[in-house]
Amino acid sequence: MKHYTSNTDNSDGNIVWHHASVTKAHRERLNRHKSVILWFTGLSGSGKSTLAHAVEDRLRQLGCHTFVFDGDNVRHGLCRDLGFSPEDRAENIRRIGEMVKLFLEAGMIVLTAFISPFHKDRQWVRSIVPDGSFIEIYCRCSLEICESRDTKGLYRRARTGEVKDFTGISSPYEVPENPELVLDTGVLLLEECVDRVLEVLTQRGIFSV
Ligand code: ADX
């Protein structure tokens, strides 16, 4: 398999960027909100997807244009050829990063729910989008709680060795160093977490265009 890097660049002179006449600013004005990426990161079972969908539902009620990307779903299609080695996880996040960058240009509020365990991969996504567009939300939940939930039975299978390279068991999770928001998803109620995310969006002027 061809291995990509975050630096892969096809600018050999034969491919020329075509600038759109309808810009992100136009779309933001039409939508009446700014576009932004809400990047939820945390262990499997920490509540990323549940929270992302709950935030999306609240945003829908406010009339926002949103889309949720979830690890398990994306791995059924765009990233179906990838496994869970550090290289494959980096490629997973690289593809997702490029995809959410396009959705940002499209004027959306993009919510992602990927374990994204490696600092450098998260940093890379942050680096390819404009300052302030990447809001990293650490869903902090102990391994004990995630493992006791074990909604997919994967922790049990990781403990027996049947599932390899499992985050938190046989593969590392690098805790975000400076996220915009930390939520104790093992302790807080879902609605409390949603409120905290909405507060951050309000503080950052996402709803004032
Ligand atoms: S990431 O590390 O590359 O960001 P991603 O979020 O796409 O991971 O996928 C994680 C989901 O894949 C988990 O929620 C879990 O359901 C499933 N999964 C299957 N095998 C593994 C594994 N070895 N490590 C982590 N998650 C796994």
Mutational pocket test of ligand 1: of 39, 40, 44, the residue with most ligand atoms within 8 Å of the beta carbon: 44
Give the pLDDT of residue 13: 81
How far CA 179 is from CA of 94, 115, 162, in Å, comes to 19, 14, 33
Q: In what order do the strands lie in the sheet with 181-184?
A: 66-70, 109-113, 36-41, 134-140, 181-184
- Note whether 71 and 146 are within 8 A (CB): no
**Residue 1's pLDDT band (boundaries 50, 70, 90)?**
very low
For 79-91, what is the mean pLDDT?
Answer: 98
For 82-107, what is the mean pLDDT?
Answer: 98
Phi, psi of 7 (to 5 degrees): -100, 0
Residue 5 pLDDT > 70: no
Give the pLDDT of residue 2: 47
**Residue 12's pLDDT band (boundaries 50, 70, 90)?**
confident
Q: What is the pTM of this model?
A: 0.94
Domain ranges of the chain: 25-202
Q: 88 CA to middle of ligand 1, Å?
A: 11
Q: 16 CA to middle of ligand 1, Å?
A: 36
Give the pLDDT of residue 209: 83
Which one of 44, 46, 49, 116 is the catalytic residue? Answer: 116
- Could you name the CATH architecture of 25-202? 3-Layer(aba) Sandwich (3.40)
R_g of the chain, CA atoms, integer Å: 18
For 123-145, what is the mean pLDDT?
Answer: 98
Q: Which neighbouring-strand residues pair with 207?
A: none
Question: Residue 61 corresponds to which tokens in the numbers above?
Answer: 């009620």
Residue labelled with tokens 């302030």: 132
Q: 114 CA to middle of ligand 1, Å?
A: 8
CA distance 82 to 106: 27
Ligand 1 atom closest to the CA of 165, numbered from 1:
23
Of all protein residues, whose CA lies closest to atom 15 belonging to ligand 1? 44
Q: 117 CA to middle of ligand 1, Å?
A: 10
**Residue 43's pLDDT band (boundaries 50, 70, 90)?**
very high
Of all protein residues, whose CA lies closest to atom 3 belonging to ligand 1? 89
Give the pLDDT of residue 4: 54
% residues pLDDT > 90 (the chain): 89
In the annotation, is 49 catalytic? no
Residue 95 pLDDT > 50: yes
Phi, psi of 121 (to 5 degrees): -70, -45
